[in-house]
């Protein structure tokens, strides 16, 4: 049979019972090769998407940190100046520095848990798809 659009001859598939062992092995090898390439492509796409999300989140986290640094500098000066009305300047600066270190520790712990939440390093969709494909192949091989 000739395809009128491409001019190529189409072959009808031969039932597996009528094919030789060599043809079946060749067909299985081609299908397995295609399956592996598709799974690798899926894993690559999934990891690229996750990396982009982490990069965007990291950039936003860095921008927030820089802005917070400027705000904290202004607050530090204001806090020291306010406490300097009651205490000596060195004591006021020491109290404000201790408070800032406590806030820094809390923010660092919160940031660490936020970056690690919900982003496992493994390509879960690719793994699940591969497991399903292996089960399908196994079922077909052992009816």
pLDDT value at residue 102: 92
Mean pLDDT of 32-47: 88
Mean pLDDT of 80-101: 90
Supply the DSSP string of 52-101, one letter for each residue.
HHHHHHHHHHHHHHHHHHHHHHHHHHHHHHHHHTTS-HHHHHHHHHHHHH
pLDDT value at residue 72: 77
Rounded-to-integer distance, Cα 11 and Cα 25, Å: 19
Residue whose tokens read 């982009």: 52
Rounded-to-integer distance, Cα 55 and Cα 25, Å: 44
pLDDT at residue 66 is higher than 70: yes
pLDDT value at residue 4: 47
pLDDT value at residue 142: 66
Q: What are phi and psi of 68, to 5 degrees?
A: -65, -35
Give whole-number Cα distances, 20 to 26, 33, 47, 100, in Å. Answer: 10, 20, 41, 77
Mean pLDDT of 26-41: 87
- Give residue-wise pLDDT tens across range 71-82: 979 988 998 999
More confident residue, 85 or 138: 85
- Alpha-carbon torsion angle 120, 126, 131, 137, nearest 10: -170
Of the pLDDT bands very low, low, confident and very high (cuts 50, 70, 90), residue 106 is: very high
Across the strands, what pairs with 2? 9
């Amino acid at each position: 049979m000739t395809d009128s659009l491409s001019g190529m001859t189409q072959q009808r598939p031969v039932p597996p019972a009528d094919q030789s062992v060599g043809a079946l092995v060749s067909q299985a090898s081609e299908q397995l090769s295609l399956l592996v390439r598709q799974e690798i492509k899926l894993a690559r796409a999934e990891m690229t998407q996750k990396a982009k999300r982490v990069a965007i989140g990291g950039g936003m986290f860095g921008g927030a940190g820089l802005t917070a640094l400027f705000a904290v500098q202004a607050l530090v000066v204001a806090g020291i100046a306010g406490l300097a009305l009651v205490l000596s300047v060195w004591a006021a600066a020491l109290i404000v520095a201790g408070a800032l270190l406590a806030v820094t520790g809390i923010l660092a712990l919160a940031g660490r848990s936020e970056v690690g939440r919900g982003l496992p390093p493994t390509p879960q969709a690719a793994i699940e798809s591969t497991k399903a494909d292996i089960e399908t192949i196994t079922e077909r091989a052992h009816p």
